[in-house]
Amino acid sequence: MDWVNKHLQIEPINTSIDPIFPVENAIITHAHADHAKPGHKNVLATKHTIEIMKIRYGENCANNFQELSFNSPLNINGVKVTFFPAGHILGSTQVLLEYKKDKINFTGDFKITKDDTCENFRPVNCDTLVTEATFGLPIFQHPDPEFEINKLIESIKNFPNRPHLIGVYALGKAQRLIKLLRNKGYDETIFIHGALEKICNYYIQSGINLGNLSKALIKGEKKDFNGKIILAPPSALKSTWSRRFIDPILSHASGWMSVKQRAKQSLVELPLLISDHADWNELISNINNSLAKNILVTHGREEALVHWCKKRGLKASALSIQGRDDSGEEI
């Protein structure tokens, strides 16, 4: 794979995947801020990714946008580009590149678990697999999300006088959590922080029913939030904004919440282990299913996955991509 370098730049067509600095040609796997940056000249992405980028960065955040649907190969100067759903958030894609009989698949951020708010993951065969490794340690084994939703519903029953303030990423996690609650029959109004509004509306327009949402404004009394669910970006949980709630139960929906000491550090009382990334078992089952002989590991805890691959006779190495540190943020 001498035609793609370690900065994920596809040399024959001078195109980069999820570049962190403005470039001539970029393929964007999904609209999270650490993958989609504004300022590129030409962007190739899914329809949803492009639309969400425009909502977040403005209509002109790139000079040209080109949409590509799933399963529809596009030939650019001898390099065949095909998108397959990554199941991470709405619009997220894997990128399969074929050049002179060589097949490389970039998973981008992905999860295999079913998610009603996005196109679900599809396995892809390839020679070289570039896989993410956000949860690339065997301690990460995400439970069934329904089990976690039950925990939340149970807590609302047990603490009807305390608002349940849940930290969620504004794009993807918030909408998925709402959808999971709705699927469980929770039909009360769910309150949201202003930062979540635009993306929630976009999901609704895209045909994902999220039920009754309302901004968490203080119009009536503070106690109106008792026993209610309020979603906010994690940063807002520690800001003055959160002072409008009396004695809230702090919660955070994230794959990191499996580590109790981590939850405790972030003052979370009700950890919800709901992740939009593959856990250890999904990471290794995807490596197996891809039939790839060469594995490149990026974006997370690479060492363990590289070790696991090598033990099974696969060629594997870590790709450290600039701008993706392991500070423990799951986006």
315 near another protein, judged by CB under 8 A: no
Could you tell me if residue 198 is left (phi over 0), alpha (psi between -120 and 50 degrees) or otherwise beta? alpha
CA nearest to 167, candidates 242, 91, 115, 88: 242
**Interaction mask 231-260, another protein, x per CB under 8 A:** ---------------------------xxx
263 near another protein, judged by CB under 8 A: yes
Name which position in 110, 169, 203, 308 contacts another protein (CB under 8 A): 308
Asked if residue 20 lies in contact with residue 33, where contact means CB atoms within 8 angstroms, the answer is no
303 near another protein, judged by CB under 8 A: yes
In the bound state with another protein, the residue whose beta carbon lies nearer, of 204 and 314, is 314
DSSP helix, strand, coil percent of the chain (3-state; round to 5): 30, 25, 45
264 near another protein, judged by CB under 8 A: yes
Backbone angles phi, psi at 266, to 5 degrees: -95, 15
Element (H, E) at 241: none
Size of the site for another protein (CB under 8 A): 28
Query: Which one of the spans 56-64, 98-106, 305-313, 316-324 is the region binding another protein (CB under 8 A)?
Result: 305-313
**Residues between 16 and 55 with contacts to another protein, criterion CB under 8 A:** none
Strand ranges in the chain using DSSP code E only, listed in sequence order: 9-10, 15-17, 25-27, 40-45, 62-67, 74-76, 79-85, 93-99, 102-106, 128-133, 164-167, 190-192, 213-215, 229-232, 249-253, 270-272, 294-300, 315-318
Q: How far is the CB of 59 from another protein (least distance, A)?
A: 35
Dihedral angle of Cα 145, 151, 157, 159, to the nearest 10 degrees: -130
**Residues between 122 and 141 with contacts to another protein, criterion CB under 8 A:** 137-141
CA separation for the pair 53, 30 (Å, rounded): 9
328 near another protein, judged by CB under 8 A: yes
269 near another protein, judged by CB under 8 A: yes
Q: Which residue has the tokens 């990191």?
A: 256
CA separation for the pair 255, 276 (Å, rounded): 8
**Interaction mask 271-290, another protein, x per CB under 8 A:** x-------------------
- List 300's β-bridge partners, or say none: 133
Q: How far is the CB of 227 from another protein (least distance, A)?
A: 18
267 near another protein, judged by CB under 8 A: yes
Q: How far is the CB of 329 from another protein (least distance, A)?
A: 12
DSSP letter for each residue of 36-65: --S-EEEEEE-HHHHHHHHHHH-TTSEEEE
In the bound state with another protein, the residue whose beta carbon lies nearer, of 65 and 308, is 308
Query: Which one of the spans 64-72, 171-179, 282-290, 296-304 is the region binding another protein (CB under 8 A)?
Result: 296-304
**Interaction mask 145-174, another protein, x per CB under 8 A:** ------------------------------
DSSP reduced 3-state for 205: helix
In the bound state with another protein, the residue whose beta carbon lies nearer, of 152 and 263, is 263
Query: Which one of the spans 7-15, 54-62, 118-126, 264-272 is the region binding another protein (CB under 8 A)?
Result: 264-272
In the bound state with another protein, the residue whose beta carbon lies nearer, of 126 and 268, is 268
CB-side neighbour CA atoms (13 Å) of 310? 11
CA nearest to 191, candidates 169, 216, 171, 166: 216
Q: Which residues of the shown chain bind another protein in the complex (CB under 8 A)?
A: 137-141, 258-265, 267-271, 301, 303-304, 307-308, 311, 325-328
